[in-house]
Structure 1
Amino acid sequence: MGLHIVNEANKCLQCKKPLCSMHCPVTTSIPQVISLFKEGKIMEAGEILFENNPLSLVCSIVCDHEAQCLGNCIMNRKNNPVRFCDIERFISDFYLDRMEFVKKPRKNIMVAVIGGGPAGMTVAIKMIKEGYDVTIFDEKNSIGGVLQYGIPDFRLPKSLMKRYYDKMEEIGIKIRNNTAVGGALEIKDLFRDGYKAVFVGTGVWRAKTLGIAGESLPNVHFSVDYLANPDGHKLGESVAIIGMGNAAMDVARTALRRGSRSVRLYARSKRVAANSVEIESAKYEGAEFIFGKAIESITYDGPVFKTAIFDEENNVVGYEKDLDYVDADSTIISVSNGPKNKLVLTTPGLKASDKGLLVVDENCMTTVEGVFAAGDVVLGSKTVVDAVGQAKIAVEGMLRYLEDLEAKKIE
């Protein structure tokens, strides 16, 4: 343990109304955790973190701390906020492999989780703790979703996902990888085989297209595909990235680390969607940011842009007449992702919004009885901690639903 972690804990003022906790999407009990840590009760602190957020170790690494706990610490007034993320990472890392996972008596009731990303992992861990038999169905080689296939290893080590995989198997969660529900198996088959509730946490894995000429050319790629398997893409020395969100930053940093020499990110406006840490990291590693470029088309030689004209408030008010032809070996589109629609197409009554996101009620139940959903497939592309927060609501809804089912059987 580094001395700086102890120093960070000692800085905490134990605020009666902790703004850090209030701005955490899962309302982590930050002062309580720090207090236990200072008392040497690391396992107790770890238990509180894990009970509240099974992915606390992940969130300590990938959360936008500047917008949440760190950025809202009262100590910011002295420009020296408490870095709770470092404290949380140490505690959660220490706790994960040492924890004693205590489950309620087995109920002999099966629950299916479709999608092993952050929401699915949270639901699976919490439901098995309640005594339910849980099986995760995931269409990829390993669980983790965006944690495994969307966040580069240099930001979130894949070894951490292996530790979670092993822990989840250890506590009794069954995992069926390479199994896409909505293909050979459908949701109706799960109910047929005795599952009493189904959770959908399939995320957003369909790249949003721009609807411009050139998107099908061999030198064009989508960020969701590139980040899932960088080895499958040969980008060349010069790369143009359309978009400036967090995924675009990951693409830029990955491309630079894999040998590309010129990596430029383009945006139509002067606003950047990514958080400040990711932006500065990408700049530090050599990425260039170019604003005021609206993508018009893509050719074999690279992207073609319209150049924006800005007013005094940096609003786009028009475009220059001449097009800007940019040379690039590869162009990567990173504007957004949406959900795949195979579950909607194969499940009668399952409704989605016009954006393809599943429609749920206040209990996170979809329009099909017994089928619940949370995470990006409901919210759209959000953060890991947002997925965890909504998954916790889904768990409460599932527990009430299953308890009602059992009560009706007794009647």
Structure 2
Amino acid sequence: MVASSILVLFLLGLTAAAILAVASRILYVKEDPRVARVEACLPGANCGGCGYPGCSAAAAAVVSGDAPPEVCVVANLETSARIAGIMGAEVQFKEPKVATNICSGGSRANLLFDYKGVEDCRAEALLYGGEKSCGIGCIGLGTCVKVCSFNAIRLSDAGLPVVDWNACRSCGKCAEACPTGAIRISSVTSVLLHLNQTDDCLAPCMQKCPAQINVRRYVQQLKQGDMRGALLTIKEHNPLPLIVGRVCPAPCENICRRKIVDEGVAIHTLQRYVADWEMHSGTRVVLHCNPPSGHKVAIIGGGPAGLSCAYFLRRVGHEPVIFEKRQHIGGMMRGVIPEYRLPKKVVDWEVQTILNLGVETRTGVAFGRDVTLADLEKEGFEAVFIATGAWKVPPLGIENDNAEGVLDAISFLYGVGREYTDLRGKTVVVVGGSNTAMDVVRSAIRLGATAIALVPSIQRKMSANKEEIQRAVEIGADLRYMTAPIGLVAEDGAVCGVTYCDLAYDDPEKAKGGPNPVAGTKSFVAADMVIAATDRLVDDSLLRDADGKPLFKIDKKTGGISANPTTLQTDIPNVFVGGEVHTGRNILIQAVSDGRRAARSIHFYVTQGTVPEPDNQQVQVIPESILKDMHVTYSIPRVQEPLVSVEERKHTFKEEVAGSITYETARKEASRCLRCGLTCYDADAGAEYTRDADVKVIAEAGRE
């Protein structure tokens, strides 16, 4: 019985073997020898980062035409070139990617669970929702370290992953393994053009900054002495740090968590210090640019928005050309903002840094007069970015506002040092409460004039920066709050005085409603010049066709070109807009932001044909990131910039009012940064300065 059973099994096996042998001959497909050759070029990591189950499968996909020669994320350009040679193809540029940790840790990201049986982040997140109270925080069990095949990640003493970018091969395994998104894979393009999203680890300052600069990282890099790294971090989102560090009103500082316990960190001062470090060194830090893509983009306007757009487009590989109607690049930054606030040498350095990337400029070319959209299309430009600014100051709209001696603020500031060199013995009346108005007042005083400003609001309602108001008053400006001109007095066609009245709010206590003229308050002041600085508007005369019809849809609120608020795409699909020609009068950092946002949109438009909008874009401050109280240990006085004496300020245009700080001062100010995340912060920030007499212990550090 047993012998017969064995015999039956033997015969069945023999039959099956015979069938398989015949089938193998019938179904045999000879493997393309190129598969083995391609696989021999691959590094053999079998990491799966390419999306195929191992290098052998990837090689087969290349040979079958299902994958390009650049399929391997671990391989370098030389490897891809060898594979392309085997396939008789040309290798395409593949932008390198690296892993990045977005979590900063901190005392507020406290532990919710302490389950010793789980040693994997994924299991912890699955079973308990994660270990940290912050939904995007690092759980800290090191799963990303375990799955990395290239020893590119380690855990720091704080339990946070640290990526060695030189060892990282962008296989993506760490990002796949991370259950909270604290580890992400990014490239130069994705970093430069990334828009804040609600699932990013965003400190309040990073949410409030129009340019979305990674403040937390560059401040910590400065503190560690990594000036080059700090500059590169800033320039991921802001190509004009020298300028922004001088003239930005710093909305980021108003929301800094430090203000809960003392004063906000001097963020813009630290940004200026980092940028000054580069300029004073005399050598520009090398900025990575992708190879030329062949996509040409026309940029109309060489101000901050146009320069920023050109900068980001060139860095991601495109070929921008700036068309500027004046003979110099820089817009209002060069020639309108006074030298004592923004020296020309600073603007020239910043502009040249951008041009050195390979940005072409054509000056003396006005849009609508010398070049049109049709001309640009004929020349091969695939997209156009319009950033012509808002240069038009509206007339006062009162009696004799066209008399001799009445002019607008832009004309006056541009004429300082040219037409206007000496105003001694003259009285200049300025109408308005903007930064431009304060520039006019301060410039007139430096030229020897008596300067009076009629300001149609109380001080805290002025659009001018607090510092600019203070510095105007310090050198002798007479700011008459809650006043407005009602007529100009002229003799022989020339202005000789201003009649004005007081104003009042409908609700004086809350300064709401109005302000409206107060009856019976008419006053007079003699004047040799009257300068309108009430607003700046878009001059749309060059944004019309030959028949006077607008080329674009106009925003009724701003008077500028209407566009999608996220993509900045106009009603003409290949035309984008940014800066003050879109928003109306605005701060410079907003123009920088618009330039980057437009570059992102143009990049997608010329490479994919459509412009995607992020589903979870951060457009307002995230509520849970605003804390009402904190347990912070040390109070450190905010840095004070050195200032030129008041007497010196009255006579010089060439010397900056605010000077540079020292490295040690900058480092101490950087130590005030709480290294905030979305909800976490470093309660012991500044501990290294506890021996300094001006550092005080204000609370016991603790966790909430």
Amino acid at match of 2:554: A
SS of the residue aligned with 1:143?
Answer: coil
Does structure 2 conserve the Cα–Cα contact (< 8 Å) formed by 1:239 and 1:328? Answer: yes
1:386 to partner: Cα distance? 1.0
Contact persistence 1:117–1:147 (CA under 8 A): yes
Please identify, of 26-35 and 338-347, the stretch whose mean Cα deviation from structure 2 is larger: 338-347
Amino acid at match of 1:353: D
SS of residue matched to 2:371 = coil
Q: Which amino acid aligns with 1:331?
A: V
Amino acid at match of 2:543: V
**Partner of 2:668 in structure 1?**
none
TM-score normalised to the size of structure 1?
0.88
Question: Paired residue for 1:384?
Answer: 588
Cα deviation code 1:276-330 (max 9, x no counterpart)? 1111010001101112322112122122213335675366465233632220110
CA deviations on 1:230-286 (whole Å, 9 max, x unpaired) are 2224756211011111110011011111221x1011023434221211110100011
* Cα distance in 1 between the residues matched to 2:504 and 2:315: 57
2-structure distance, mates of 1:247, 1:82: 26
Aligned with 1:28 (options 209, 213, 221): 213
Q: Give 1:324's aligned residue.
A: 523
The yes-or-no answer on 1:344 pairing with 2:546 is no
In the alignment, is the contact (CA less than 8 A) between 1:113 and 1:134 conserved in 2? yes
In the other structure, the counterpart of 2:404 is 218
Give the 3-state SS of the residue equivalent to 2:253 in structure 1: helix
Alignment partner of 1:285 out of 470, 475, 492: 475
- 8 Å CA contact retained: 1:308, 1:320: no
For residues 240-251 of structure 1, what are the structure 2 equivalents within 5 Å? 240-251=429-440
Partner AA of 2:277 in structure 1: F
8 Å CA contact retained: 2:310, 2:599: no
**Deviation (angstroms), 1:369:** 2.4
Question: Which structure features the higher share of strand residues?
Answer: 1
Structure 1 position 47 matched with structure 2 position 232 = yes
- Do the aligned residues in 1 keep the contact of 2:242 with 2:350 (CA within 8 Å)? no
Which residue of structure 2 aligns with residue 334 of structure 1?
A: 533
Amino acid at match of 2:252: C
**Gap regions ≥5 residues in structure 2:** 1-105, 110-201, 490-494, 611-704
Q: Distance in 2 between matches of 1:316 and 1:395?
A: 40
Cα distance 1:306–1:113, how it changes in 2: closer, same or farther (>3 A)?
same
What's the TM-score, normalizing by structure 2? 0.53
Q: 104, 112, 119: which one pairs with 2:298?
A: 112
Unaligned ranges ≥5, structure 1 = 1-12, 407-411
After TM superposition, give the deviation of residue 43 of structure 1 in Å: 0.9
Q: Deviation at 1:174?
A: 1.0
Paired residue secondary structure (1:372): strand
Q: Secondary structure at the match of 2:321?
A: strand
Distance between the aligned counterparts of 2:503 and 2:348, measured in 1? Answer: 46
> Offset of 1:78 from its aligned partner?
4.2
Amino acid at match of 1:117: G
Deviation at 1:377, TM superposition (A): 0.7
Aligned partners of 1:75 and 1:320: how far apart in 2? 46
Worse-superposed segment, 378-387 or 72-81: 72-81
In 1, Cα distance between equivalents of 2:278 and 2:289: 17
* Percent identity (aligned): 26
1:69 alignment partner AA: C
Residue equivalent to 1:73? 256
Alignment equivalent of 1:171, drawn from 357, 364, 367: 357
How far apart, in 2, do the equivalents of 1:317 and 1:243 lie? 15
For the 8 Å contact 1:344–1:352, the answer to whether it is kept is no
Deviation sequence 1:154-181 (CA, Å, 0-9, x none): 0011101111232233211111122111
Instruction: Find the counterpart in structure 1 of residue 562 from structure 2.
Output: 359
What CA distance in whole angstroms lies between the structure 2 residues aligned with 1:24 and 1:309?
33
Letter in 2 for 1:86: T
Distance (whole Å) between structure 2 residues aligned to residue 226 and residue 372 of structure 1:
31
Highest CA radius of gyration, 1 or 2?
A: 2
**Contact 2:204–2:252 (8 Å) recurs in 1:** yes
Name 2:451's counterpart in structure 1: 263
Map of 1:232 onto structure 2: 419
Counterpart of 2:562, as a letter, is V
What is the one-letter code of the residue matched to 1:308?
Answer: L
In the other structure, the counterpart of 1:144 is 330
- 1:110–1:79 distance in 2 versus 1, CA, 3 Å: same
Match of 1:125 in 2: 311
SS in 1 for 2:236: helix
Residue 107 of structure 1 aligns to a residue whose secondary structure is coil
Q: Please point out which of 247, 250, 263 is paired with 1:62.
A: 247
Other structure's SS at 2:389 match: coil
Task: Name the Cα RMSD after superposition.
Answer: 2.3
The structure in which a higher percent of residues are helix is 1
Question: Structure 1 pair 269/74, CA: closer, same or farther in 2 (3 Å)?
Answer: closer
Query: What SS does the corresponding residue of 2:476 show, helix, strand or coil?
Result: coil
Tell me if structure 2 keeps the 8 A contact 1:349–1:367: no
CA deviation map 1:9-45 (0-9, x unaligned):
xxxx999763332322222222211222222221111
The answer to whether 1:303 aligns with 2:498 is yes
Q: CA deviation at 1:80?
A: 4.1
Partner SS for 1:32: helix
